């Protein structure tokens, strides 16, 4: 896939949205028919966005929801955005109700591939298009498009991050906290960082203390799991490969509760908490995924489909186990204390005044972030 073409396509739709008519500002649409397109007089279908939860990551409500709402409002396309709060039955009911209310496109962040495939199959049977958003639904022929980041590369950045942070340290004892076993993204992240850190374990340069998945990306469960890891290993840990900032913060909290030294910890999502942990020296890196660009790319596809048009964005095929799904995969970047300032101007990255609030002001000054 030509990444440049994807970014240009995303930028193009963002520009076009700015000059489009504004739609309904409400988060949830009412029932009834679609709206009328300004050009051509054709009827525009509704779009339903199905978010997974607000617990696994703050991004779903703080970045994805407002970014998607703004994109559809600017295009004059009616959208209903709902959050299942981790409940698969709720998400399925939300999908069914949205279709009943006239949705012609579903933008789906599945809670797992099984429930996601059921939602997609029902949508396809009723002529509704499905875009997998951020998470690929496996083993279904009902998905029309997939928009996400290169998630294996996310993991590779995390793996290289822990290598860089540990330097030449020999015999480092490393714990691995993986994401939810039902999330295909977590599988891809693990493939990425395992490709970097497993050679260290195989050579004997490092020792793998433990490697555990955290059900549902639950940060409280992660805290319990990591406390057990510490207990079993006599509180000896030299580094933590954590699949996102929430899991990383759980490990950091456990270390602090036991008054143990700071050790390198990875993360992902570039959350405010994650960036502040980096500034404070508790976390060595995170991965920034430009979520607004992801939302804009997904909105572009959904808007075209809602209008009955053929999407023009350049795609690459990603196999979900049943079919090759036309996909847009955006590039992630690693963030350390050395390059935070390169991204603070981005609309979905924490602002300097947020990062450096309170006790962190002095730390920010030390690393030149003011």
Verify that 100 and 67 share a domain, yes or no: yes
Mean pLDDT of the chain: 90
Verify that 77 and 190 share a domain, yes or no: no
pLDDT in tens, 269-312: 999 999 999 999 999 999 999 999 999 999 999 999 999 999 99
CA distances from residue 325 to 9, 109, 313 in whole angstroms, order as listed: 18, 15, 14
pLDDT in tens, 211-234: 999 999 999 999 999 999 999 999
Residues spanned by the domain of 264: 151-288+337-366
Verify that 322 and 341 share a domain, yes or no: no
Verify that 191 and 300 share a domain, yes or no: no
The answer for residues whose C-beta is within 8 angstroms of residue 362's C-beta and 6 or more apart is none
pLDDT in tens, 188-205: 999 999 999 999 999 999
pTM: 0.84
pLDDT score at 67: 97
**Which pLDDT band holds residue 180 (cuts at 50, 70, 90)?**
very high
User: Per the structure, how many domains does the chain have?
Assistant: 2
Verify that 186 and 263 share a domain, yes or no: yes
Burial (Cβ within 10 Å: 0-12, 13-18, ≥19) of residue 50: buried
Verify that 159 and 215 share a domain, yes or no: yes
pLDDT score at 35: 46
CATH number assigned to the domain comprising residue 272: 3.40.50.2300
pLDDT score at 42: 60
Verify that 71 and 138 share a domain, yes or no: yes
- Select from 151, 153, 157, 119 the least CA-distant residue to 135: 151
Verify that 211 and 343 share a domain, yes or no: yes
Verify that 276 and 320 share a domain, yes or no: no
- Select from 97, 246, 245, 264 the least CA-distant residue to 166: 264
The C-alpha torsion from 357 through 358 and 359 to 361, rounded to 10°, is 50
Verify that 22 and 120 share a domain, yes or no: yes
Verify that 197 and 104 share a domain, yes or no: no
Verify that 262 and 244 share a domain, yes or no: yes
């Amino acid at each position: 896939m030509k990444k440049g073409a994807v970014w240009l396509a995303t930028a193009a739709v963002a520009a076009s949205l700015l000059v489009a008519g504004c739609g309904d500002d409400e988060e949830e649409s009412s029932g009834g028919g679609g709206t009328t397109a300004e050009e051509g007089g054709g009827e525009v279908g509704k779009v339903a966005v199905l978010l997974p939860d607000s617990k696994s990551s703050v991004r779903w409500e703080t970045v994805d929801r407002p970014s998607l709402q703004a994109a559809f409002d600017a295009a004059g396309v009616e959208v209903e955005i709902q959050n299942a709060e981790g409940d698969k039955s709720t998400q399925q009911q939300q999908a069914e109700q949205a279709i009943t209310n006239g949705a012609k496109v579903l933008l789906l962040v599945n809670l797992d591939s099984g429930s996601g495939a059921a939602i997609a199959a029902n949508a396809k049977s009723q002529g509704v298009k499905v875009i997998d958003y951020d998470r690929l639904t496996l083993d279904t022929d009902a998905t029309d498009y997939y928009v996400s980041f290169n998630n294996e590369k996310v993991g590779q950045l995390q793996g290289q991050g822990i290598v860089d942070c540990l330097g030449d340290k020999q015999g480092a004892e490393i714990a691995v906290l993986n994401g939810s076993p039902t999330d295909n993204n977590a599988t891809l992240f693990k493939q990425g960082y395992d490709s970097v850190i497993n050679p260290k374990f195989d050579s004997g340069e490092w020792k793998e203390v433990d490697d555990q998945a955290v059900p549902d990306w639950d940060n409280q469960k992660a805290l319990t799991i990591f406390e057990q890891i510490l207990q079993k290993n006599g509180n000896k840990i030299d580094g933590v490969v954590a699949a996102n900032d929430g899991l990383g913060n759980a490990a950091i909290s456990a270390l602090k509760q036991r008054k143990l030294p700071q050790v390198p910890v990875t993360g992902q999502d570039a959350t405010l908490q994650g960036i502040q942990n980096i500034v404070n020296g508790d976390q060595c890196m995170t991965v920034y995924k430009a979520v607004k660009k992801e939302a804009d790319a997904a909105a572009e596809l959904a808007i075209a489909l809602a209008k009955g048009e053929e999407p023009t964005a350049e795609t690459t095929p990603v196999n979900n186990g049943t079919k090759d799904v036309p996909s847009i995969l955006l590039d992630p970047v690693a963030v350390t204390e050395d390059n935070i300032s390169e991204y603070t101007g981005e609309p979905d990255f924490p602002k300097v005044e947020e990062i450096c609030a309170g006790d962190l002001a002095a730390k920010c000054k030390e690393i030149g972030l003011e």
